[in-house]
Amino acid sequence: MPHTYGVEWKMIEIRVRTSRRVEARDITEEVRRAAEGKDGCCIHLFSLHTTCGLTINENADPAVMKDMIDALGRLVPQDYPYRHGEGNSDAHVKSSLVGGSLTVPLSAGRLVLGTWQGIYLMEFDGPRERRIALTVVK
Amino acid sequence: MPHTYGVEWKMIEIRVRTSRRVEARDITEEVRRAAEGKDGCCIHLFSLHTTCGLTINENADPAVMKDMIDALGRLVPQDYPYRHGEGNSDAHVKSSLVGGSLTVPLSAGRLVLGTWQGIYLMEFDGPRERRIALTVVK
Amino acid sequence: MPHTYGVEWKMIEIRVRTSRRVEARDITEEVRRAAEGKDGCCIHLFSLHTTCGLTINENADPAVMKDMIDALGRLVPQDYPYRHGEGNSDAHVKSSLVGGSLTVPLSAGRLVLGTWQGIYLMEFDGPRERRIALTVVK
């Protein structure tokens, strides 16, 4: 259920509960429900966290996001002698590689997405509840 | 030739035909032609695909983008036992690493770019025709 | 000291002097000073360079950003037989992996950042003076 901050904020918060340490969670429908009908040229999604990411990729064959998770795990393994003592340095690095925000065009109040595009929260250090700030850009 | 959706969309579509499987295609001039003269604070470019990316990098020495393509190929090789059966999982991963959208400031109707900056469509699974939605942000 | 271009630009420039070849420079306070109090829904930060990046990550334990720098160095080593002759191809690749721009929500004139989030200029080919264009999006 999106929570509205107040009239002056023009911002909506989307909360997502993830269920594994690393997970590609399709949030397209949550974003659609929160964004559609709004009067703007685009929406901006902003993760309020440093160990997850937001990305757009294929939402037809689930194997694509499994390959993505595995590929990121090979690039930045969890098990490595990192300095940071919390055991989640890999999640911080993946968060900066994938990025924590997205801007998606709105057209006549509808998200503009290509045929195969879905919006994903990339959880790299779950399970947790994640908060995403959604801003409608006029 | 950019195609305009209609007045309420404020959106322009740029079409780019790529000519190789992996290619860094400089689209700065296409973007400039579509964006310049518009009344906004920035433009947003959004790829409607999941196997290409958009990035800004040097457009002086072409060797820079060749190094980029090679480095991405070493990080995410095409030839690997991925789950996804279409042989383009590397392209999906590279698309999320590089990102599929860009926001570029506009000032007095002109793109604000640093001296060495060019705008690139990164083709990772071509050759194809690619569509980029350009939104003028007020 | 941010420099204002002029009324029609709605843009502010932040200048940052880095002190090492590779460095994660926390610019949260510079951005806060330049952005806060402005009337907009978000701000856009845009690096005018091709060998540095902008990212958001943890600003509590400095070990996180050291791990980030080391991990990026393992992914894209400086020492490799690149084509580009300036010895900084690694910096160009890292710049496109991390990305050179950020959009951050503004709410009631204040930056919206999660508890652990700081804004970083990622220097990959310093030391240099770096320019960041800050645009207030209405």
pLDDT tens, position by position, C26-52: 999 999 999 999 999 999 999 999 999
- Which of C66, C98, C137 is opposite residue A137, by nearest beta carbon? C137
- Which of A5, A75, A135 is opposite residue C42, by nearest beta carbon? A135
The interface predicted TM-score of the complex, written ipTM, equals 0.93
Residues A89, A97: contact at Cβ < 8 Å? no
pLDDT at C107 over 80: yes
Average confidence score pLDDT of chain A? 93
Q: Where are the domains of chain C?
A: 16-137
- As a whole number of angstroms, the distance between CA B86 and CA B79 comes to 12
CA B93 → CA A90, A136, B84, distances in Å?
A: 17, 28, 12
Binned at pLDDT 50, 70 and 90, residue A11 comes out as confident
Nearest CA in chain B to C134: B105
| pLDDT value at residue B10 | 58
Average confidence score pLDDT of chain B? 93
Q: How far is C59 from chain B (nearest CA, A)?
A: 23
CB contact under 8 A, C71 and A89: yes
Question: Which residues in chain A have Cβ-Cβ distances shorter than 8 Å to C97?
Answer: 97
| pLDDT value at residue B11 | 76
- Sequence-distant (6+) residues with CB within 8 A of C77 are C90
Q: How far is B24 from chain A (nearest CA, A)?
A: 19
Least confident of A5-14, A22-31, C24-33: A5-14
CA A57 → CA A2, A28, A46, distances in Å?
A: 23, 11, 17
- Which of B67, B103, B116 is opposite residue C101, by nearest beta carbon? B103
Q: What's A16-137's CATH class?
A: mainly beta
Q: Which residue of A41, A96, A125, A135 to mutate against C (max C Cβ within 10 Å)?
A: A96
pLDDT at B58 over 80: yes
pLDDT at A6 over 60: no
How many contacts does A have with B, using Cβ atoms within 8 A?
93
pLDDT at C5 over 60: no
Tokens describing residue B120: 């690139």
- As a whole number of angstroms, the distance between CA B96 and CA A55 comes to 6
- As a whole number of angstroms, the distance between CA B128 and CA B130 comes to 6
The pTM (predicted TM-score) of the whole model is: 0.94
| Chain C residues contacting A via beta carbons under 8 Å | 41-42, 55-58, 61, 63-64, 66-68, 71-72, 75, 97-99, 102-105, 107-108, 112-117, 137-138
Question: Which residues in chain B have Cβ-Cβ distances shorter than 8 Å to A42?
Answer: 44, 135, 137
CA B39 → CA A60, A129, B63, B105, B114, distances in Å?
A: 37, 40, 35, 11, 21
- Report the 10 Å Cβ neighbour count for C3: 11
Nearest CA in chain A to C118: A50
Binned at pLDDT 50, 70 and 90, residue A5 comes out as very low
Question: Which residues in chain A have Cβ-Cβ distances shorter than 8 Å to B133?
Answer: 105, 112
Q: How far is B124 from chain C (nearest CA, A)?
A: 14
Residues C133, B112: contact at Cβ < 8 Å? yes
pLDDT at C6 over 90: no
| pLDDT value at residue B7 | 41
DSSP per-residue letters across A78-137: S-S--SSTTS-HHHHHHHHHH-SEEEEEEETTEE---TTEEEEEEESS-S-EEEEEEEEE
- Which of C84, C93, C133 is opposite residue B61, by nearest beta carbon? C84
Nearest to A16 by CA among A118, A133, A131: A131
Residues A136, A23: contact at Cβ < 8 Å? no
Q: How far is C137 from chain A (nearest CA, A)?
A: 8
Q: 3-class DSSP state for residue B102?
A: strand
pLDDT at A42 over 70: yes
Binned at pLDDT 50, 70 and 90, residue A10 comes out as low
pLDDT at B131 over 70: yes
Residues A59, A118: contact at Cβ < 8 Å? yes
CB contact under 8 A, A93 and C58: no
